[in-house]
Structure formats: structure tokens, C-alpha cells
Structure 1
Amino acid sequence: MAYADLRQFLARLAEEGQLVRITEEVLPEPDIRAIGRAAADIGETGPAVIVDNIKGYKGKKVVLNVHGSWTNHALMFNLPANTSIKDQFYKIETRWDNYPGDLIWTENAPCQENIITENINLYEILPLFRINKNDGGFYFSKASVISKDIDDPDNIDKLNVGTYRVQVQGPDTLGMQALVFHDLATHLRKAEERNQPLPVAVCLGVDPVLSFAASTPLAYDQSEYKFAAALNGIPLELTKCVTCDLDVPAGTEYVIEGEILPRERYPEGPFGEFPGSYSGVRNQVRIKVKAVTHRNDPIFENLYIGKSWTEHDTIVGLNTSIPLYRQLKDTIPEVTAVNAMYQHGLTAIVATGNRFGGYAKSVAFRLASTPHGISYCKNIILVDADVDPFNMAQVMWALSTRVRPSKDVIVIANTPGMPLDPASEPPGMGGKVIIDATTPVAPDETLREVHMLEKVDKAAYYQEMINNLQKQVR
């Protein structure tokens, strides 16, 4: 089963018992953020939640935690609901080779069932709420923002779909953070060099795999649309915006069309970010809204973001890990898995074989030079190829028994950092910590002979038996 839009996925979640609806009246604040936090705290089986009785927003609805559990994540890719994180990693990784997927266009798109071009007031159109109580305003935390390369406007591969935080700053005004290493920043730079506004479309409530694709670190000339279609297994249906030449997903719940004002910056923030801290206030770009289109009975999808674990961590977990794995595997075949699920890869765990003494440390250097790793991967942990990097008990065992502090811990100062990382000092600068927790191999000398315990025969057989017995007694 593949999903053409958000509604189809919500229907599947409902069938699987992974969607709940809160019908009692709630306040926009603090209730909606409390609901988002609570759903995330349920953990690996947490459901998506629809809130459709919001005081002051009669008839409007919000959905939260759509990607907020590994159960939902598995269902998004039509995998069994109980598929482990590690198995999801390998099964999803094989779909990367399906790129590019197919795109189709339509002129009668559900996202344009309602068109607003005059007297635009986002405060009335959307059921807005602050995601964290000290945010500087109302935010879209799960917006898929579309922009084009003005030097190559007809090249769909250079059209970017990215997930950026967007702040409502007025009835028809938005602020947005576009960091310098994001593809949208490249589009913006080219437009500002000509002192031209950059058309953008802010899409809220897209199909779940496109949300996954929009937050995946792809190459500049790789299409998020084609990537989503490849992963989903069906063509992605697009339509043209009503005010500009941008292509947007036809089944989107809300589309906000506008332009980034060239060479203008305004205060944006603070905002509670994925490291679990507020990001502060910085001068960012401003979008002037020209139109809002939406489906009949639209659903406002937003994402609770805060101290881990939240929906943000799940949605960017494997789509950060898999590209890093493939980039490493391309030149280092000994790499068996990468777990970069923690704070968008600020900490990454790599399982690798050791071809010769010190080899694992070279794997870390390669990771630190990937497009994502340059700014994000600051804590790099290396474990043996037979260690499951998604199993924290095994990783902690490796750290406890393999690391020789004088030989296996390397600190590299003054490297690029992630500005939203509260440990980045100054913002945008940082360092790398490499911890080699692999078994030393020649010519690296060891103080004593070490032989690892072998696997216990038939343990897997009895594990399955015990699991089945436990199900019977529940």
C-alpha cells in the first residue's frame, strides 16, 4: 500500500489502531503542545492524534505525531508495524536504488478546492498555537517549502523541497530560517544577486513519504519529489501554484504561496529546537504571502519538537542515517550500518570492520567530510561490524570494553558546527570528537590478548519461543 496524500495515511493508521481523536474541547495553548508532548512520550508505539475541538477555532483541526513512533514509521513504508529500527534501516535503504520515481501533473488538484487571494489572514485560516511556551510566535514546524533555481527554472531536479521552520509574523507575513548550507539558501542567493524576490510555496500536510524526503539530505540536483515517488512506489501527483510557476503536491492540505523579499532580514525566534533548547533570535528572511489554497475540511499538520524523543527525531532518524551509510559504503565497504538518529546526527555511531590498524579512525574522518557530517556529526563513535549500532546496550558495551582513552579518543577543534546546537561556540563553529570503540588490529599493539565470546547457539530460537509465550500470557 502506498499513500497519495496525508489523508490516505491517516486512514491506514486508523485501521492499525495508530490514530486517536480527541473530541473534548481543548485550548490552543497549552493543551495542543501538551498533547504533542504526551504522544511523543508514549514511545515506539505512540499514535498520531487528531484534535478537532479547539476553542476559538470552530470546525478546524490539527493532527500531531503522524511520524512520531517507529510503528507509524514502519507503516509509512508498508512494513509490518513491529519492524525493528535496524530492519527498517536495511529495508528502506534498498529503496534508494529505485530513484528516480515518476511524477504526474493535474489541473484539478484537491489542494486548490479553496483559493484565497484577498484579505489574507493566517490567524483566521489556520488553528495556530505556540509549540513551546517561550517561542517568539506561532510556528509551522513541519512545513515542506518549495523553491526553484532561477538559473535553471525548468529543471525539476533542482527544485527544492525542504523542511524549514516558518514563523507567522503577520496576517500575510512569514519569517523563515534558511541556513547557509541548505539548498533553499542557494536559490535565495541567486535571486538576491539580481535583487529579485524568490517565489516559495509553504505546504502543510503533505503525504508522509514526502515529509520524509523533504528532511533527507539529498544532493542539490536530486529531486525530493522523484525520491518520494521512488520510496513510495507510486507516481507523485503535482499541480501548478495559482500565483507563480512552482509545482506543489496536489493532495496537500494547505498551500501558502508567496515571495521571499530580497535583501531584507527581520528578527525571527526564539524557537524551541530539536536539541531541546531555544535557539534565540536572529535576523532571517521574510515571506510576503500572495495566496492561500486549501482542501475542503483541511487538516493542519504540525510537529511537536523539543527535548528528545519527539516526532522530529523519528522523522529525521533514518533519513539521516541511510544517506551517511551509503556515502561511506561507496568507498569503504567494511561499513555495515550507521545510526545517526540522535539530534539529526550530532551524534553518529558507525559499525565498521577494521582492515588494518587505525582504519576505523579513517572512517570517522570520511564521515566528518560528508555534506551532512561537516556541520552536524560532531560526536562520532566507531564500533565493530558485528555490533548493532541501534542497540544501545551493545554500543555501551563497546565503549566500556574497547576504548583506550590515550589512543582511541581524538578531539579536532574549530570545525564547522550547527548553529542550532547550543554547544556550538560561536554559533556555526564547533569541533569533532572521535571515539574508536573497535577491536584493535595489527599493527596496533594491545596490552593483552583479547578473545571475544562466541554467539550462543539456539539463543535466537528460544528468544522467539519466549516472545510467543509472553504474548499468550498477556
Structure 2
Amino acid sequence: MSTNPKVKPINDIRSYIAALEAQGVMHRVKAEVDWKFELAHVSKVNEEQKGPALLYENVKGHTIPVFTSAFTTPERIAICLEQDPSLTMCQLSRKWMELTTKQMIKPTFVKNPPVMENIIPEEAVDLENFPAPWFYPDDGGRFFGTSGYLVTQDPDTGWTNLGTYRSQILGKNILGSQIISGKHGDFHMKKYQERGEKMPVAYVVGGDPILFLASSTLVSAQTDEYDVGGALRGRPIEVFKSDLTGLTLPANAEIIVEGWMDPEELMEEGPFGEYTGYYSGNKMKDYPKPVIRVKRIIHRTKPIFWSTTVGKPINDTHMVQSINRTATLWHDLETMKVPGIQSVYFPAAATGRFWVIASVKQMYPGHSNHVADAINGSTTGHYGVKGIIIVDHDIAADDMDRVWWALATRFDPKRSVQVINRGRSTPLDPGLPIEARDVVSRIIMDATTPYEWKNKPNEIFMDRAVLQKVSDRWNEYGFSGVSPVAEMIPRLTRPEVKKK
């Protein structure tokens, strides 16, 4: 159920766009824009300025509009989650954690799904009839999927996985797919490979945006992302069973490409300007990719093509990784029964992946180390993280000014640093040599005042009564609008001691 009274329930990309327009954070580009470079460049410049979501209504050579910049501000992520648009990333992630620790909600199967309104048979398939952008000059071509996800299924258990694997157009009926080793889609593919069978797959573009968030989330094996999406929505996701592949697919998707993937058939794919800000995957010898042989495309009438620019921070990809990794890490720590957690945060500016900050109310000596060790061993934190920063409870994990202050005033390199030599890495980490990206070292930076210190530094605080006076007279001073003092009191004044 929506907690934002201005937002109607969101079940597809169309209702999400309507919600963005209702909040005044959507812009329709009516001028003709070229899908090759221009569209991505306009979007990237807009995102650098923290501009609105964009809907390109006149893409050169196409009648299908393209939607970009869907999640580049916390406000738009909040709207997607049907939450208060004023919530911060830490606050939104806490909502996510609370919803997903209650109960997963299974999807509901429907008849006559909207995505089946139009069917393009195998002999008529031509992927270039869709306005897939060519993003950057050194990319290997047009990418059909950057904000889409691949649907696969475990042939033994029926577990359905939604995975955000990029997908390049390699031919009129061939899509590349970057399924990184160790990902859940890779688990499924290896099972089909052992059987000597082709794997049924579907690539989804558009639909309920909650599924894109869920598909890029690090969840445990045997967990369906449809269930995660349902928990976040507070209601079942609508799905249907494909009569072609037998896969469970989202009913309200805009476009679904269906076909089979032969684990033995590999092709050269890329390069592609990744979320790290660097290119990846340009040589067959470096990382050959499996491909989808397309058997049909189904789509809604007048479909909307959803894309994201990727590249250097901050864009949709970084914000998505930030919110879902922050939320799932909080979920991990909650289920691990780690006490005292106040907030956690994967900064979007750090690609939403490689660095994490946690705020803790210390209760015993070594508590901050307990938190760092738990992050390192969690489902979310064990993969790709190379830096962990721990701060005291008076600092929100996403308050970067205060995090820097803590590193300046509560941190001693000799006392506060631990280096872990071996951790699981990602092949997309450009900080490691391309031939050795399986393992990464990690640093823990403890920016807390040690709990056991008897004589702690005397911190400066402001007077609550005087601040209240300032708040009351805010407009008398010539400032316009509502006084900001109320929300600043927790970080400017001494914490109140609760009377027993």
C-alpha cells in the first residue's frame, strides 16, 4: 500500500511515469533525438545537473519513445517505492529492510497479460526495430538491455531468477548477455550445460520498476525476485506463464524478448561503458559471452522503451545499486542480530558498490569491529566491497560531511585500520588488473571513538533553547520558507538523556 497520498499504485512503467509527472519531476523531450550517442549524451548532461526523468517522444527512425533517468535522485526512488519523496537513501533503505524482513509475497498469475497484446514471430524479428541506444563512442554497438533483466529458471527446483545482465544487439535475432560467473543466472546456465540442453530465457524491458530494483538486488539463492517485489509493493506482482518457454514472466512488461541460450555458443560482445566509468568486455579472449537466439518478441501496444545511460556516477545504475545494496545489507545485519545499527549506506558516488558506511551505537568494547566483520561476512558485503567505514550513532551513514569529520577527528590510522587480504571481487573492478579480478583486498576504517576510553574528547554542542528561539524567529531574520532548525537539532545538540 502506498504511503505517499499523491501517488497512485504503481504497477508498470506507465503508472510510474504518471506518478513522476504528478510530482513535477518528469520532462518530455519532443524534439527529434538520435539514438546514436545523442540520446545518451542529453541524458547524461541532464543527470549531471540532477535533472528530471526524461521521455524522448521523437527518436530518430522510430515511433517508440525512450524513457531514461528514472532513478537518478532519491526522490524518484521514493516515488517508485510508493514512499514519501522527502525520505533520504538511508531512510528508504530502512523501509526496504522492514518490508522484506516481514514476509515475502508470492506473485499472482493472470490471464490475458497486457504484454501479449502484440506478438512478433521468429521470422519477423528484427531487434533494431526498437530504439535501443548506442551510448558512448567506444561502445561495441547498440545495447537493448541496460535497465532490463534476464529471466531464467532452475530446471530442478523451478526457482525463477531475474538478473540485470547487459544485452547488446549482435544480429537482428541475436542478443548478447553478460552473465558473470557466480551469478544466479550462471547457476542456472551451468545446470543446462551439464544436461546438454539449451536454456529457455526471456529479456524484459519496462514493466513495474520495482522489478528492476529487485533484479539487481543481492538476494539469497532460491529466492524469487518476484517475491521481493511483492514484499516491497505490499501486494502480489502480476505474472503469467509463457506458452513458448514455460517461464514465469511479468504481465505488465512493455517488451519481452523470448528464446533459448546455448551454453556452448559464445560470441564476442562489447566493449561497453560500465557503471565503473570504464569500458569492459571488448575481446573474445577476455570474456566471451553467451547469446540469446530470439524466437519471438511480445510487447504492449505503443510500448515504451526503458534505458539507462550507465557510465560514470551518478546515474540510474549507481542509485539502484546504492538503494538495493544499502537495503539488503541492513536486512543482512538485522537477520544476523547485530545490535546497535543506526543506518548503513553504499554511496552512489562510489558506484553504489565498492564502499559501505555503517553507523552504530556502541554498547561494548569491539562493537564497531563486530559490525565491520559482520558486513564483511554478509550476503551483500562479501562481494565487490573494498572499503568499510564505521561511524558512531550521532552520524547518519549518508551524511558525508559528518563522515569526513569523523575520519578527521575520531580516526587514527594505526589504531583504526584493518586490511583483509582476500575477498570476493567482481570482474568489472577496474582497480584490479584484468587478468586477476577474482580476489580483492579490503580495508576497514573505524571512525568511531573507542567505547572503552574513559576520557573521551569533549564535543561542541549548541543550546536547544536558543536553537528553538532561532527557529521561531527564522522569518524575522529575513529568511523565507520554513525554518530548517527542527531537522538539524539531532546533529547540532547534545543527545537528550532519557529519564527512567
Identical aligned residues as a percent = 28
Distance 1:190 1:430 in 2: 28
Identify if the C-alpha distance between structure 1 residues 182 and 471 changes in structure 2 by more than 3 Å, giving closer, same or farther.
Answer: same
Distance 1:462 1:242 in 2: 66
Equivalent in the alignment of 1:432: 442
Task: Tell me if structure 1 keeps the 8 A contact 2:122–2:294.
Answer: no
Distance 2:425 2:136 in 1: 24
Matches within 5 A, 1:9-88: 9-43=16-50, 46-57=51-62, 59-88=63-92
Task: Tell me if structure 2 keeps the 8 A contact 1:269–1:280.
Answer: yes
Secondary structure of 2:480's partner? helix
Task: Tell me if structure 2 keeps the 8 A contact 1:344–1:376.
Answer: no
Kindly state the Cα deviation for residue 268 of structure 1 after the two structures are TM-superposed: 1.9
Equivalent in the alignment of 1:331: 337
Equivalent in the alignment of 1:385: 393
Give the letter for the 1:417 counterpart.
Answer: S
Task: Tell me if structure 1 keeps the 8 A contact 2:168–2:175.
Answer: yes
Equivalent in the alignment of 2:137: 133
Could you tell me which runs of 5 or more consecutive residues in structure 1 were left unpaired when the two chains were aligned: none
User: Runs ≥4 in structure 1, deviation > 6 angstroms?
Assistant: none
Task: Tell me if structure 1 keeps the 8 A contact 2:319–2:352.
Answer: no
Distance 1:164 1:63 in 2: 19
Task: Tell me if structure 2 keeps the 8 A contact 1:346–1:376.
Answer: yes
Kindly state the Cα deviation for residue 91 of structure 1 after the two structures are TM-superposed: 2.9
Distance 2:382 2:450 in 1: 27
Cα deviations across residues 364-394 of structure 1 (Å, max 9, x unaligned)?
A: 1221122232222111111112211110011
Give the letter for the 2:194 counterpart.
Answer: E
Kindly state the Cα deviation for residue 460 of structure 1 after the two structures are TM-superposed: 7.2
Distance 1:257 1:462 in 2: 62
Cα deviations across residues 20-56 of structure 1 (Å, max 9, x unaligned)?
A: 111111111221101220232232xx32111121222
Secondary structure of 2:260's partner? strand
Distance 1:180 1:452 in 2: 49
Mean CA deviation greater in 82-91 or 138-147: 82-91
Equivalent in the alignment of 2:404: 396
Task: Tell me if structure 1 keeps the 8 A contact 2:205–2:256.
Answer: yes
Equivalent in the alignment of 1:360: 368
Cα deviations across residues 258-301 of structure 1 (Å, max 9, x unaligned)?
A: 11112232222211111111113221111111110000001110
Secondary structure of 1:265's partner? strand
TM-score w.r.t. length of structure 2? 0.88
Cα deviations across residues 179-236 of structure 1 (Å, max 9, x unaligned)?
A: 1221111111111111111111100002111111111111112221121122112321
Distance 1:465 1:327 in 2: 45
* Residue of 278, 288, 305 corresponding to 2:293: 288
Mean CA deviation greater in 398-407 or 368-377: 368-377
Kindly state the Cα deviation for residue 424 of structure 1 after the two structures are TM-superposed: 2.4
Distance 2:81 2:333 in 1: 24
Kindly state the Cα deviation for residue 80 of structure 1 after the two structures are TM-superposed: 2.8
Task: Tell me if structure 1 keeps the 8 A contact 2:97–2:330.
Answer: no
Distance 1:236 1:301 in 2: 19
**Cα-Cα RMSD:** 2.2
Secondary structure of 1:185's partner? helix
Matches within 5 A, 1:143-222: 143-153=148-158, 158-222=159-223
TM-score w.r.t. length of structure 1? 0.92
Kindly state the Cα deviation for residue 437 of structure 1 after the two structures are TM-superposed: 0.5
